[in-house]
Amino acid sequence: MKKLIMIAAAAMLALNVAAEDKKEAPKKGGRQGLMKELGLSKEQTAKMRELNKKFADKVKGLSQEERKAKMKDIQKERQAAVAEILNEEQQAKLKELMAKRRGAGKGKKKPE
């Protein structure tokens, strides 16, 4: 009986440690990954963070319906602001990276 309890306790401990490892694993990609791949300067990174916060705050205050209605305009405005921060080479790289992401499943329609 003691062996069974010890095995159960060891199993629970192992599962707990495995769960913590998953939480701490950084995401691949995301905004941070994009900024790193684009090779932004410290100044550009700071501007991008400020821009991301500005647009997150802008969207945060909207209801679900308002967000749906205004999202295209907000995205166009954000893309224009990003274009002002990035140089031409970085803009080209961003388009390439976004196309890869879309091709990997995001925004891609499933065959019928």
The answer to whether 37 touches 93, Cβ cutoff 8 Å, is yes
Q: pLDDT tens digits for the chain (112 residues)? A: 666 676 766 666 666 655 544 444 444 557 777 778 888 899 999 999 999 898 888 888 888 898 888 888 988 999 999 999 999 999 999 888 888 888 866 454 544 4
Rounded to two decimals, the pTM is 0.58
The span from the CA of 25 to the CA of 20, in Å, is 9
* Domain boundaries along the sequence of the chain: 29-103
